[in-house]
Structure 1
């Protein structure tokens, strides 16, 4: 691991969590639940079928005891949570290489470890970047390798957020692939449940606005990513994804009208989530196998 030696650096100089190996059965239930949440007419896949890209986020979930949650709903302790004071967490992006898709209905194994730890000076203060690398195996063979970039800060910072929300303005696009989305509080609550995410900014309006300073409930970053990938699954279902990368850039809020759009080029596609006020809340690059 890499680390610096000033600011947040000293807190993680000796922090070196070992690898963790976990097992889970990729049962069909969570796939059916997310399919319903996305308003698909039925489960997008069943036992024996390949799991859509990144839908493994429905598995290997962590359910800490209630007493182990912090005031924001995040776990206070965790194997891969860095030991910095007044820790605040943000999901920044990631990458995934898929050599063969995971299969629904089979047992899988995940081996996770911290690959890099770096500190950077951002516009709102010092940030700690932690990248967690996970290998997913079935029947002893590595099916996919994922890296997730998580950003931490010590204490809160006043981010750049809109003063109010326009819930009627429609984003536009001339791209070939388009999928409108209109996340509401019920959708965010259901996605929190299906992914075991207790962060209060996604379902507790008084907390999100009063404590965190947001203009509304925050749409989950992973939900934005999965919405972008629905373009690929819907428009080119016969083209398996070989690799993808994604970045979460600006938060979107419940009630806003969003548009997932994409431009395919034969080898893959560039994807994004837009609102009337932001052209790129999230972006992704997909390469076909």
Structure 2
């Protein structure tokens, strides 16, 4: 069993999202989840966004130290950076391809909005996902990596407790120097906002001097104090779901993988956990299916399940 606890600072810093959003796109008039799902499929079903990023050692180093796992591939990250060629551990790719947009173009939770449902269905929850790794070709420090993102599906759902929502599935393929390294499928649920966000934005128009456009001397800010409480109905800062996925995979590597990497993980978020709370990770079962090793893991807080995961390692 492993205990996990994060401060509010860490929970706020570890927001791993991707892709871009154009602030010039007109907002559609959406009333129902069915309309929102239809709009997404109409506008994004054939869209593939591509982004490139250098897999730098410093980003990986900071995550290793933040997670309290400073030794990476035999190197102590507190004293040195990982050398070129060091494999990126399973799911640690989530610290790369973070949002490129300015704050005003991000969602209320700090995420990009390229594949988000349209308003009013902007309250997002990371519901689960599936990551398939190429163990023989992981992302490595020094790679010029490329991320391809596309919308797989957008479906309207209704529940008695939560009302209308949009279930969205997005696929991300990450390519390293030697080709496809992993396929990361993510399932998001979008619900209507609880209340309208207030913001304050300043700025002045650019001015011209001798024919040259100078940048404006101004400051802009988006006020999102207590966003998790006022807009999402949570009692505090929510620990990001993919952070729990990283912890589950790190636990599996320590306990069952003997330091190796798995081939796949299927995970499902069951309930939230908040900054300052402690939770435990434990193994429910480990069985052999033909030649595959299948591990069932669970993260739970005081007996309440936070996340379930099935991790597969092929022979």
Pair in the same fold by TM > 0.5: yes
Contact 2:268 2:307 in 1 (8 A): yes
Partner of 2:247: 227
Equivalent pairs, count: 238
Q: SS at 2:94's partner residue?
A: helix
Q: How far has the Cα of 1:140 moved from its partner?
A: 5.6
**C-alpha offsets along residues 215-257 of structure 1, whole Å, 9 cap, x if unaligned?**
3322211111111111122232343211111111100122222
Are the aligned partners of 1:25 and 1:107 in contact in 2 as well (CA < 8 Å)? yes
1:99-110 to structure 2, matched below 5 A, reads: 99=134, 100-110=137-147
Q: Which moved more, 1:38-47 or 1:247-256?
A: 38-47
Instruction: Provide the alpha-carbon RMSD of the alignment.
Output: 2.7
User: Partners in 2 of 1:147 and 1:41 — Cα distance?
Assistant: 28
1:93-151 alpha-carbon deviations (Å, 9 max, x no partner): 10011123222221111111001111111231011011111111123622211110011
Match of 2:286 in 1: 264
Q: Specify whether residues 147 and 238 from structure 1 end up closer, same or farther in structure 2 by C-alpha distance, changes over 3 A only.
A: same
Q: Give unpaired runs (5+ residues) of structure 2.
A: 1-30, 76-81, 196-221
1:129-278 maps to which residues of 2 (within 5 A)? 129-139=167-177, 141-156=179-194, 206-209=226-229, 212-235=232-255, 236-262=257-283, 263-265=285-287, 267-278=293-304
Which runs of structure 2 are paired with 1:277-288 in the superposition (5 Å)? 277-278=303-304, 280-288=305-313
Pick aligned residue for 1:66 from 103, 107, 121: 103
Higher relative contact order (CA 8 A, sep 6+): 2
Q: Do residues 87 (structure 1) and 125 (structure 2) align?
A: no
- The ranges of structure 1 where at least 4 consecutive aligned residues each deviate by more than 6 angstroms after the TM superposition are none
Structure 1: how far apart are the matches of 2:246 and 2:85? 21
Bigger radius of gyration, 1 or 2?
Answer: 2
The 1-side partners of 2:102 and 2:260 are apart by 41
For 1:13, what is the secondary structure of its paired residue? helix
Give the whole-Å Cα distance in 2 for the aligned partners of 1:224 and 1:23.
26
Instruction: Give the SS at the match of 1:48.
Output: coil
3-state SS of paired residue (2:100): coil
Which runs of 5 or more structure 1 residues have no equivalent in the other structure?
1-5, 158-197
Q: Give the CA deviation at 1:268.
A: 3.0
Distance 1:97 1:9, change over 3 A: same
Distance 1:90 1:199, change over 3 A: farther
